[in-house]
Chain A
Amino acid sequence: MSIPDWVRRDPAIWITEVEGIDPRIPTGACVVTVQRAASVISGDPLPAELGFAWFQGAAVRWAPDAHPCVAQMGAKLEAHLAALHPAEIATLATARGLAKTAAALRGWTPHSPITRTALAAQTTDESLDGAALLGREARLLMALEYL
């Protein structure tokens, strides 16, 4: 067993006018066309691949010689993703197998910032006598506070 490649790579979302091969696309990047991005911004469901990429911290990038509209759409998409509702993030966490985090996010007050410490507190297990115990997800969230 070893650390998967997607962990080693810097995550990226690549926005382009048309689909196709471009050597400038970072390896493993999620490629989105302007048209697809526009539909997401206007309220279509978030495609899973795009959601995962954002969940991993991918920045939206485009070719330096791209049409100004591409850059504009890229900035809009980035803002749209940054404003995702906790419930939508919960869906992404479920798909990633982070069940407790997803459950905590579903009950999250909208518009209140999601912090790792607060999330860790809500993902603790409970012992027989009701004391809070750190489970896997809470441990990882807390560990990241000391990165």
Chain B
Amino acid sequence: MGAARVTHGWRQRKDVDAVELIHWDVAQPAASVLPGLTAHHAIPLANLRARSRAHALAPFAALDGALEGICGEHPFDVVVNLSYSRFAGYIAPVLAGGQQHAVHGAVVDDTGRWRCSHPALEYLGGWGLDPALNVFAHQDLWALSSRVRLGASGQLPPDPVADNLAAHARANDAQAPILVAPGVAVAGDDGFGWDEFITRCKARTGRPVVLVSEPGHASFSDALARTTGCEVANWPVRHSAALLRRAAGLVGVPGGLSQLAGNVGTPQVLLCPDSQAPLEALSADSLCVCPREGQPTTEEVIALVEAHFLEEQVPSAAFVSAARRVILREVVREESSALGSVIPSWWNASAEDRAQDREQRAWRTAWLTSWMGGAPPHAALRDLAHTDSARMDRARHDRGRLGTWIRDEEQRTGSAASERVA
């Protein structure tokens, strides 16, 4: 769903007549809801693989035919590669009629070397999504590499047909429901009592609670539905989006549904697996409950639901014991328009945790400034230089502007110290 910002962003440009999407056929349900698309083309993955088993050349003619069918005699003026796979890296320049410079994203160049058109993608390739190193939301790095501004909206367009169906299906709801997406966890495995949460949440808020799951992940939600008597709505992507639009909020684990919720503007409370907010699934208007020494209790999550979805006043005392076990992170858009997570001011967090937030924000600013060709923010980087972190070690080896600045600065500081000693 991160592609939504890119398809929407490119369609908004006045010099763009059409935006077409090429994807594997298995991604058809998600591709069909993306905004700004003039057309989308589904390449049959299973079919190509089946041909490949017949003999080496069998999928060749089919792939050639597929690309010919998509482009005809008129290649695309610009190709945005939203994949980091070698397959897409080889294909992208073909779609651009061999014009390698017309490809934004990762590409295998004419000499067979792997190249990234934007340093943000090199950063992602080199640093991955390890929260100890990376400080950017996954979708921000893709937006940057696709030449879409960071603040671009990825909101899905209205879908009156699906909205109408969802309205009929939920006609008996007196109030907007609370959706629960427990993911694929096995009961008791993640330490959070989903069944207890559902029962208490229904009783406390008086709202209908509906279980939802991604395609193929229905078994756990079905089992929960049986034990709690809760309704379950394992709907296709389009209809899930419509249901999310009608919901008061989504409580769940980071994943496809939480990203979809981000794209339709539904507030979320996400129970995260790690102490940092998940970079691959950051979306605005969400609260990430990150474990430090345990899991939140059901009562604490219900209190967050009341505060975040229903805008009720919850005394901060309700979270005093939670703050010892978990860290609450709120996903926000910073001044630079990058997505970041910060501990809310009302959450009882240590000075060290808050300093980490500030450090991450400073890194984001430093990297963004260097990628945009601006002067590195000296003051901020001097502060960062004092933090002996893995991020600094890696940034020192960056081949771009930021790495150069850090190395120069360290050399300067070292020389000045030597002079003083002399």
Interface residues in chain A, defined as those with a beta carbon under 8 Å from any beta carbon in chain B? 1-4, 6-11, 52, 55-59, 82, 89, 93, 96-98, 101, 113-116, 119, 127, 131-137, 139-147
Contact = CB atoms under 8 A, between A and B. Distances in A.
B90 interface: yes
10 A-B pairs closest in CB distance:
A57-B58, A57-B54, A57-B51, A143-B90, A146-B86, A146-B87, A133-B110, A1-B72, A3-B69, A139-B90
A3 B87 contact: no
Nearest to B88: A143
A147 B111 CA distance: 21
A125 to B, nearest CB: 8
Contact of B65 (A7, A127, A135): A7
B98 A136 contact: yes
Contacts of A133: 110-111
A128 B85 CA distance: 30
A144 B62 CA distance: 11
A131 B62 CA distance: 29
Given A133-B110, A134-B112, A144 B54 contact: no
A131 B39 contact: no
A142 B90 contact: yes
B83 to A, nearest CB: 11
Interface of B: 39, 41-45, 47-67, 69-72, 85-88, 90-91, 93-94, 98, 108, 110-112
B60 A141 contact: yes
B255 to A, nearest CB: 26
Given A2-B41, A3-B41, A7-B65, A82 B55 contact: yes
Given A7-B69, A140-B63, A147 B54 contact: no
A142 B90 CA distance: 7
A116 B44 CA distance: 20
Nearest to B44: A8
A56 B64 contact: no
A1 B68 CA distance: 9
A140 B67 contact: yes
B94 A2 contact: no
Contact of B63 (A1, A131, A144): A144
B61 A96 contact: yes
B50 to A, nearest CB: 6
A130 B6 CA distance: 39
Contact of A101 (B47, B60, B98, B108): B60
A109 to B, nearest CB: 15
Contacts of A142: 86, 90, 108, 112
Given A139-B90, A140-B90, A147 B60 contact: no
A7 B66 contact: yes
Nearest to A81: B55
16 contacts: A4-B69, A10-B50, A57-B50, A57-B62, A96-B61, A114-B56, A114-B57, A116-B56, A116-B57, A119-B57, A131-B111, A134-B90, A134-B111, A146-B87, A147-B48, A147-B59
A144 B60 contact: yes
Given A7-B66, A134-B112, A139-B93, A56 B51 contact: yes
A38 B88 CA distance: 43
A82 B110 CA distance: 33
Nearest to B85: A146
B110 to A, nearest CB: 4
Given A82-B55, A140-B63, A146-B86, A2 B39 contact: yes
A4 B63 CA distance: 11
